[in-house]
Amino acid sequence: MTRLPVQLWIGAALSTSLLAAVLISFLWTPYDVTTLNIAEKLKAPSASYLLGTDHFGRDLLSMLMEGGRISISVAVLAVGIGMGLGVPLGLMAAANRGSWLDEVIMRGNDLIFAFPSLVIAILITATFGPSATNAIIAIGIFNIPVFARVARGGALTIWTREFIMAAKVAGKGKIRISVEHILPNIANLLIVQGTIQFSLGILAEAGLSYVGLGAQPPTPSWGRMLADAQTMIYTTPRLAIAPGLAIVAMVLGLNLIGDGLRDLLDPRIRRARE
Amino acid sequence: MIDLQNLSVSIHDTPILQDVGLSIAPGQVIGLVGESGSGKSMTALAVMGLLPRGAKASGQIMFDGLDLNGLDDDALCSLRGRRISMIFQEPMTALNPVQTIGDQVAECARIHRTISRDGALRLAAEKLTRVGLPQDRVPLDRYPHELSGGQRQRVCIAMAIALHPDLLIADEPTTALDVTTQAQILDLLKELVAEEGMGLLLITHDLAVVAGMADRVAVMRKGKIVEQGETEILFRTMSHPYTRQLLEASNHAPAGIAQPSAAPLLQVNNAIRDYPLPRTRLLGPAPQFRAVDGVSFTLNKGESLGLVGESGCGKSTLSRAILGLEALQGGDILLNGDPISPDMDTARRAGLQVVFQDPYGSFNPRWKVEKLVAEPFHLLGARPEDWRDQVRQALAEVGLPGEAMTRYPHEFSGGQRQRIAIARALILRPELIVLDEAVSALDVSIRADILDLLADLQAKHGLAYLFISHDLGVVRNVTGRVLVMRAGQIVEEGETETVFTTPQHDYTRNLINAAPKIPPAWRTA
C-alpha cells in the first residue's frame, strides 16, 4: 500500500472538518439563525455563544455552519458545470485541432472571456432574479472557458506524443484516445485548476452575495456574513474574521487536496515516494 | 593547460565520478567516450563548475595553475564563457528563441568586456562569419527558428569561441544533427582548434567520431576512466575489454539477414503526401508542401528493408501513411493486395505495427505494462479471455519477466522500454513492423541486444521489417535491401551491400562519405 502524501492528509482534515460542520447544520445548529434576538446582540464569545453573536443577536457559529451550505454548494456546482462542459469541449477541440469544430469552440470561449465575468453574473442574476441557483449558473458559465482552455492546451501537447501514435496504430478513435490517454495525463492540470476555480467560486459567491445578488436574507452565506460585518470591522472584527477564516481554511484545504491528488495520481511521483 | 586530478563527484552520497584524471593541452582534442550514465557530461559540468545541486566534488581541477574546484561562483563566472566555454547537444534549446543570433553572440562579449553594443555586434558578425554564417546570407537579426539545425549549432559555436577561450567543451555536439551536417560541424571544430590553439574536450558516445577528431581518447564507464591514450594506439591495441566491447557493439551485425520470400507484402505505388502550409493570405487556398513525392517500392514477406535519409526527407511522413494514420493525396499503398487508408477495417490494421524512437515518449506514463502491451487487442474488438497470458508470453519473447506486467514504464531503462514497445508491436502477430528509428536513442551495447532480439523474432515469426533510420551503419548491418530517400523521393534503391559499396547517386555517395568511420587499418590488430 502506498503512503498517502502529507498534504493530502492536512488538506482533507481541514476541509472535511469544515464540511462536517456544514453538514451537521442540516440536522442541528446551536441556535436558530433566522430568529433575531436584539437583547443578545454583539455578545463576546462565551460558553453559551462559542463565537459570540452578531448585531442582530444571531449566534455566529450557527451562521457559519449554515452559511457554508450556500458557499460550498455554489462553488462545487459552479466548478462541476465548468469541468463537466469545459473539459469535453477542450478535449474535442484538441482532438480536432485546426478544424472548424476547434475554431467554433475556441472562438465561443473567447466570446465568453471577452465579457467581464462579474458584470455578466450580475446581469444574469438581475434578469432572472437574485438567488443562489442563478449565482451558480452565472459563475459556472464563466468556468467553462477556463477548463476548456486548460484541457485543450494540455491535450495538444499530449497528442504529439508517440504513445498516441501507438494508440492510433491500435485502431483507437479520437474519443477513445481522448478518454483513455489524454484525460489521465491532463488530470493533474485539471485538478489544480479545479481547486483554483473552487476558491474563486467561493469568492465570487461572496462577491455576489455582498452586492445582494447571491443568497437572499435570511439565508446566511459566508460572503454575506463578510459583507454584513464590513460596517463593524473596526468595532467587532471577529464578525469578519470568522467567515474570512472559514473561506481561507476551505480554500487552503482544497488546494492541499488538489496538490496531494496530483501527486497521488502520478505513478512517477508515487513510486519515488515509496 | 587543464588538468583533472583524482576528481570525484557524488550526488547525495551516490558516487558519480571516481578518481577521474584527464589533461588537455592547448591545440589538443581530447575525446571522452562512454555510454549514457557513464559520467562524461558530469565531468564537463564539474569543469565548468555547474554541478547540480547536492553534488560534492573532491580532487583538483587545475586550470593554468588555479584549482577551479573550490573557487566561488563569482570567480567561476568570470572564467566561464571567457576562458572556458561549452556547446551542447541540442542547438535549438541552447539558444534563446526570442533573441536574435547577433545579440546572443554579442551578449557573451558584453558580459566579460567593456565593449560598446556596436563593437559587440561587430565582433558577433566576425565570429559568425568565422563559423560559416556570413552576413550576406545569415544576417545578425535572424532568430534561431529561422535557421537549420546545423546553422544553429554554428551559432552556438560562435558564442563559445567569441572570446578566444582556452578550453572548449563540446558535449555531444553533433548527435542531434544529420550525418552530412555532422561532418561539416566536426570539420569546423577541427579547424578552430588548429587556428585558435584552444583545447577541445569532445564528449560523445560515438567511437567513430573521436577516431576522426581526437588526438587522445579517454573511455569512461560508470564514473571511471577505464582507458586513455593516443587515439590511434588506443584503437589499435584496445587493451581494455570494455573498449573492445563498445567497438564491437557499435558495429554489431546480428547473425544472418533473413531470406525474404518472393511474395510481396507491402506495395507502395507512386505515393504522394501533401501538407497544407500556413496560409499566406487570408482567403484563397493554403500553399501545399509535398513531403512524399511519388514514392514506389515493394516489401516482400519476411524481408528487412532499410529506408535511410536525413531529417525532413519525408521518411516519417511515409511511415505514417504506411501505418494508415494519414491519407495519401495520390497513389496507393497495398498490404497483401488490400489498400491501406485511415479508415481501413481493424483486421487489416492488425497486420501492421510500429516501434518508435523515443523509449520514453512511446508509453502512456499512467498505464501499467500489461495494459500497454495489450493495447493492440483493441483491434480485435475485445481482449481475448487469456490476454494476460498472451501479454506474459510476448514479454517473455522480448526477454522480460512476467512480473514486469504490473509495473509502470518509468521503472524501466531505455533498453527495457524498447523491449516493451516490441512486445506491444508483437502481440497481434503482425506481418509487418515499422521500426521508426527504433534503436537510434539507445546506447551501443543495448542497441546490439535489441538488434539481436529483432533478428531472432524475425526468424521465429517470419516478420517483415521496414527499418527507418538515419544511421547508415545500423541499416547496413541489419537490412538486405535499402532505399535512400531525399526531399520526398527515393533516389536510390538496391541490395544494401551493393548500395553501400558502389553507390550510384551523388546524394548516397555524400551520405556514405560523410558518416564518420574508424580507419579500417586500425582495426586489424
* Secondary structure string (H, E, C) spanning B116-184: CHHHHHHHHHHHHHHCCCCCCCCCCCCCHHHCCHHHHHHHHHHHHHCCCCCEEEEECCCCCCCHHHHHH
> Cα B293 to chain center, whole Å?
26
Contact A170 B362 (CB under 8 A): no
Q: Is B156:B94 a contact under the CB 8 Å cutoff?
A: yes
Partner residue opposite B378 with nearest CB, options A162, A165, A172: A172
Residues in chain A with CB shorter than 8 Å from the CB of B362 are: 161-163, 165-166
Q: Which of A6-20, A47-61, B429-443, B497-511 has the lowest mean pLDDT?
A: A47-61
Q: Are B177 and B226 part of one and the same domain?
A: yes
- Distances in Å between the alpha carbon of A178 and those of A88, A159, B424, B455? 9, 9, 20, 35
Number of domains composing chain B: 2
**pLDDT at position B74:** 86
What is the domain extent for residue B30? 2-250
Residues near A129 by beta carbon (within 8 Å), at least 6 away in sequence: none
Residue B257 has pLDDT above 70, yes or no: no
Gap between the Cα atoms of B113 and B414, Å rounded: 44
CA angle A159, A164, A167 (to 5 degrees): 150
Gap between the Cα atoms of B351 and B328, Å rounded: 19
DSSP B80: B
pLDDT per position as a tens digit, A179-207? 999 999 998 889 888 888 887 888 788 78
Contact B325 A168 (CB under 8 A): yes
| Min Cα–Cα distance to chain B from A98, Å | 11
Residues in chain B with CB shorter than 8 Å from the CB of A176 are: 378
- Distances in Å between the alpha carbon of B63 and those of A144, A258, B22, B27, B99? 60, 50, 12, 15, 32
Q: Are B179 and B128 part of one and the same domain?
A: yes
Q: Is B422 domain-assigned?
A: no
Q: Are B9 and B110 part of one and the same domain?
A: yes
Cα within 13 Å of Cα(B275), Cβ side: 12
Partner residue opposite B378 with nearest CB, options A161, A171, A185: A171
Q: Is B23 helix (H, G, I), strand (E, B) or coil?
A: strand
Mean pLDDT of A3-16: 82
Indicate the pLDDT class of residue A268, thresholds 50, 70 and 90: low
Residues near B124 by beta carbon (within 8 Å), at least 6 away in sequence: B101, B102, B103, B105, B106, B109, B140, B158, B162
Q: Is B196 helix (H, G, I), strand (E, B) or coil?
A: helix
Q: Three-state secondary structure along B473-500?
A: HHHHHHCCEEEEEECCEEEEEEEHHHHH
Place of cell 473552487: A198
Q: What is the DSSP annotation of B215-284? A: SEEEEEETTEEEEEEEHHHHHHH--SHHHHHHHHHHT---SS-----SSEEEEEEEEEEEEEPPPSSSSS
Task: From B427, B424, B485, B478, select the one nearest B450 (Cα to Cα).
Answer: B478
Q: B18: how many CB neighbours lie within 10 A of its CB? A: 16
**pLDDT at position A208:** 81
Q: Per mean pLDDT, which of A52-66, A238-252, B373-387, B419-433 is the most reliable?
A: B419-433
Q: Is B142 domain-assigned?
A: yes
**pLDDT at position A177:** 93
**pLDDT at position B524:** 57
Q: Are B241 and B314 part of one and the same domain?
A: no
Q: Does B14 touch chain A (CB under 8 A)?
A: no
Contact A166 B357 (CB under 8 A): no
Residues in chain B with CB shorter than 8 Å from the CB of A181 are: 364
**Which chain A residue shows the shortest CA-CA distance from B424?**
A166
Indicate the pLDDT class of residue B57, thresholds 50, 70 and 90: confident
For testing contact with chain B, the best of A163, A185, A274 (most B CBs within 10 A): A163
Phi, psi of B456 (to 5 degrees): -60, -50
Q: Are B39 and B115 part of one and the same domain?
A: yes
For testing contact with chain A, the best of B275, B348, B364 (most A CBs within 10 A): B364
B272, β-bridge pairs:
B293, B330
Number of CB pairs < 8 Å for A and B?
68
Indicate the pLDDT class of residue A3, thresholds 50, 70 and 90: low
Gap between the Cα atoms of A268 and B486, Å rounded: 40
Contact B366 A172 (CB under 8 A): no
Q: What value does the mean pLDDT of chain A take?
A: 83
Indicate the pLDDT class of residue A1, thresholds 50, 70 and 90: very low
Please report the sign of the dihedral spanned by the C-alpha atoms of residue A231, residue A237, residue A241, residue A242.
negative
B355, β-bridge pairs:
B435
Place of cell 508542401: B289
pLDDT per position as a tens digit, B153-180? 999 999 998 888 999 999 988 887 888 8
For testing contact with chain B, the best of A2, A99, A164, A169 (most B CBs within 10 A): A169
Residues in chain A with CB shorter than 8 Å from the CB of B376 are: 169-171
Q: Are B115 and B233 part of one and the same domain?
A: yes
Q: Per mean pLDDT, which of A62-66, A177-181, A260-264, B310-314 is the most reliable?
A: A177-181
Cell of B388: 494476460
- What would you measure as the largest C-alpha separation in chain B, in angstroms? 75
Partner residue opposite A268 with nearest CB, options B349, B352, B410: B410
B55, β-bridge pairs:
B11
| Min Cα–Cα distance to chain B from A205, Å | 36
Q: Is B451:B389 a contact under the CB 8 Å cutoff?
A: no
Q: Are B321 and B225 part of one and the same domain?
A: no
| Min Cα–Cα distance to chain B from A162, Å | 4
Q: Is B20 helix (H, G, I), strand (E, B) or coil?
A: strand
Q: What is the DSSP annotation of chain A? A: -PPPPHHHHHHHHHHHHHHHHHHHHHH--SS-SSS--GGGTTPPS-SSSTT-B-TT--BHHHHHHHHHHHHHHHHHHHHHHHHHHHHHHHHHHHHTTTSHHHHHHHHHHHHHHTS-HHHHHHHHHHHH-S-HHHHHHHHHHHHHHHHHHHHHHHHHHHHTSHHHHHHHHTT--HHHHIIIIIHHHHHHHHHHHHHHHHHHHHHHHHHHHHTTSSSPTTS--HHHHHHHHGGGTTT-THHHHHHHHHHHHHHHHHHHHHHHHHHHH-HHHHHHH-
DSSP B319: H
Answer with the residue of higher pLDDT: B62 or B114.
B62
Gap between the Cα atoms of A244 and A225, Å rounded: 9
> Cα B405 to chain center, whole Å?
29
Partner residue opposite B365 with nearest CB, options A170, A180, A268: A268
Residue B258 has pLDDT above 70, yes or no: no
Q: Among the three residues B203, B232, B250, which one is the final residue of a domain in this structure?
A: B250
Residues in chain B with CB shorter than 8 Å from the CB of A265 are: 366
Indicate the pLDDT class of residue B295, thresholds 50, 70 and 90: very high
Q: Is B158 domain-assigned?
A: yes
Burial class (CB within 10 angstroms; exposed 0-12, middle 13-18, buried 19+) of B284: exposed
| Min Cα–Cα distance to chain A from B80, Å | 35
Mean pLDDT of B485-508: 91
**pLDDT at position A274:** 47
Residue B345 has pLDDT above 80, yes or no: yes
Q: Is B444 helix (H, G, I), strand (E, B) or coil?
A: helix
> Cα B482 to chain center, whole Å?
20
Q: Is B266 domain-assigned?
A: yes
Mean pLDDT of B46-54: 85
Contact B349 A271 (CB under 8 A): no
**pLDDT at position A32:** 77
| Min Cα–Cα distance to chain B from A155, Å | 13
Partner residue opposite A166 with nearest CB, options B346, B354, B411: B354
**Which chain A residue shows the shortest CA-CA distance from B347?**
A171
Answer with the residue of higher pLDDT: B64 or A274.
B64
Q: Are B180 and B324 part of one and the same domain?
A: no
Mean pLDDT of B113-131: 89
| Strand-strand pairing, B304-308 and B489-495 | unpaired
Answer with the residue of higher pLDDT: A117 or A139.
A139
Q: Are B295 and B150 part of one and the same domain?
A: no
Q: Is B187:B155 a contact under the CB 8 Å cutoff?
A: no
Q: Are B244 and B262 part of one and the same domain?
A: no
Strand order in the sheet with B352-355: B352-355, B432-436, B464-469, B304-308, B481-486, B489-495
**Which chain A residue shows the shortest CA-CA distance from B376?**
A170
Q: Are B69 and B197 part of one and the same domain?
A: yes
**Which chain B residue shows the shortest CA-CA distance from A269?**
B410
Cell of B456: 531472432
Cell of A91: 478535449
**pLDDT at position A94:** 94
Q: Is B230 domain-assigned?
A: yes
**pLDDT at position B37:** 81
Per residue in B103-132, is it b (16+ CB within 10 Å) or e — as a string? bbbbbbbbebeeeeeeebbbbbbebbebbb
Q: Is B485 domain-assigned?
A: yes
Answer with the residue of higher pLDDT: A255 or B482.
B482
Which residues of A have a CB under 8 Å from any CB of B? 161-163, 165-172, 176, 180-181, 184-185, 265-268, 271
Domains of chain A, each with CATH number or no CATH:
6-16+51-273 (1.10.3720.10)
Q: B182: how many CB neighbours lie within 10 A of its CB? A: 21
Q: Does B358 touch chain A (CB under 8 A)?
A: yes
Q: Does B364 touch chain A (CB under 8 A)?
A: yes
Q: Is B144 domain-assigned?
A: yes
Q: Does B366 touch chain A (CB under 8 A)?
A: yes
Instruction: Tell me the Cα Rg of chain B.
Output: 25
pLDDT per position as a tens digit, A239-254? 888 888 888 888 888 8
Task: From B55, B62, B28, select the one nearest B41 (Cα to Cα).
Answer: B55
The proportion of chain B whose per-residue pLDDT surpasses 70, expressed as a percent, equals 99
Q: Are B184 and B224 part of one and the same domain?
A: yes
Q: Is B20 domain-assigned?
A: yes
Residue A10 has pLDDT above 60, yes or no: yes
Partner residue opposite A163 with nearest CB, options B363, B379, B410: B363
Q: Among the three residues B250, B265, B295, which one is the final residue of a domain in this structure?
A: B250
At position A73, the amino acid (one-letter code) is S
Residue B434 has pLDDT above 90, yes or no: yes
Q: B181: how many CB neighbours lie within 10 A of its CB? A: 20
| Min Cα–Cα distance to chain A from B294, Å | 24
Cell of A185: 495525463
CATH code at position B120: 3.40.50.300
